[in-house]
Amino acid sequence: MTVVCLGAHILDVLGRPVTDIPSGQGRRVLDEIRVTAAGTAGGTAVDLAKLGVEVASIGPVGDDTTGRLLRTLLAEHGVDTSGLAPRPGAATPATMLPVRPNGERPALHAPGAMGSLTADDVDLDLVAAADALHVGGPDVLGAFTAEALPGVLAHARAHDTLVTTDLLSVPRPGLLDEFANLWPLIDVFLPNDDQLRLLTGLDDLQDAAGLLRRAGVGTVIVTCGGDGALVVSDAVVALVPAHDVPVVDTTGCGDAFTAGYLTGRLRGEDLLDAVRLGNAAAALVAGGLGSDAGIVDLSSTLDLRDRHVGRAPPGPDTVRRSATAPAPEVD
């Protein structure tokens, strides 16, 4: 199983629990501070590697100390970092995350070199040889997304490389139309529920997913936090419940879901079993601090998935569905 993770690679600095920011030069003592490799490409790459997948990263970074640390953290997990493109004089993308006691985490982000990726940075032979290409955060990659990404995705599809993508940020107005030439080249789109609603302007998640599928996306999988994941494809419309686990930090749960889902599909599992593996990976990450927390290996993640008993479905105010095509709950 080989995956190329292209896009946002970020160094995260996280601390918990943060109940408030002291005024002036005040001080708070935290239980834990960690530094992790993260981002919708970088975090997914780490989790894939933990799950036994061979992973190569492609993305823009600075030539600074932060960039060297990010490379080290990725490499320690077995990720091939030779495709990370350093930008002389630029800063590596980084985020500070004060994690609240309930697991929420506001983000203080410095994008640095994030928007500087070019077509020359992408090894198309590597993309063609991979089983999957995951594009993490095309919404933050600047001109590359419009000018080069369509060609990269077309090249992947021409070589039977599965194409998945998700978003890093809250969608800006007009993003749905900006990506009009990308949607038909995406096999699986993996937004969270808030991103999908803002992207489409539709409150009903099933309707919103349907809009993306009419735009050309093959399958839409919407992560809905503690309510699980809504799957909308040609053959399946289903809500797959999340695991009911104590939450320490929600950072990277979406990236873990993507890694679990991709691992399942590349293992030959059917769509819903792969989504269940994504839910299990996300549950493990939610139990620790940082996007690389919780997941140990594939066997323990499969064990958690296979022991899971589905929760009751959420109420209509949490995930609303079309009256003509309700999404069944799948344990």
CATH of the domain at 158: 3.40.1190.20
61 found inside a domain: yes
User: What is the 3 state secondary structure string of the chain?
Assistant: CEEEEEECCEEEEEEECCCCCCCCCCCCCCCEEEEEEECCCHHHHHHHHHCCCEEEEEEEEECCHHHHHHHHHHHHCCCEEEEEEEECCCCCCEEEEECCCCCCCCCEEECCCHHHCCHHHCCHHHHHHCCEEEEECHHHCCHHHHHCHHHHHHHHHHCCCEEEEECCCCCCCCHHHHCCCCHHHCCEECCEHHHHHHHHCCCCHHHHHHHHHHCCCCEEEEECHHHCEEEECCCCEEEECCCCCCCCCCCCHHHHHHHHHHHHHHCCCCHHHHHHHHHHHHHHHHCCCCCCCCCCCHHHHHHHHHHCCCCCCCCCCCCCCCCCCCCCECC
Q: Residue 292's pLDDT band (boundaries 50, 70, 90)? A: confident
Residue 153: is its pLDDT beyond 80? Answer: yes
Task: State mean pLDDT over 215-243.
Answer: 95
- Do the domain assignments include residue 77? yes
Residue 31 has pLDDT above 80, yes or no: yes
Q: What is the predicted pLDDT for the residue at 313?
A: 41
pLDDT-derived band of residue 229, with 50, 70 and 90 as boundaries? very high
Full-prediction pTM beyond 0.85? yes
Give CA–CA dist 241/293, Å, rounded: 21
pLDDT band at 309 (very low <50, low <70, confident <90, very high): low
Asked whether residue 134 carries a pLDDT value surpassing 90, the answer given is: yes
In a domain, 94, yes or no: yes
The pLDDT score that the predictor gives to residue 270 is 94
Asked whether the predicted pLDDT for residue 125 surpasses 80, the reply is yes
Contacts of 62 (CB under 8 A, 6+ apart): 86, 87, 89, 90, 91, 92, 112, 113
Its domain, for residue 246, covers: 2-19+32-307
Work out the average pLDDT over 233-253.
Answer: 92
The verdict on residue 24 lying in a domain is no
pLDDT in the model for residue 215 = 98
- Classify residue 325: in a domain, yes or no: no
Residue 318 resides in a domain: no
Rounded mean pLDDT, 58-76? 97
Number of domains in the chain: 1
Structure confidence at residue 46 as a pLDDT band (50, 70, 90): very high
Residue 273 has pLDDT above 90, yes or no: yes
Residue 320 pLDDT exceeds 80: no
Is residue 175 in some structural domain?
yes
* Residue 108 resides in a domain: yes
Task: Kindly report which listed range (105-119, 195-209, 265-279, 303-317) carries the lowest average pLDDT score.
Answer: 303-317
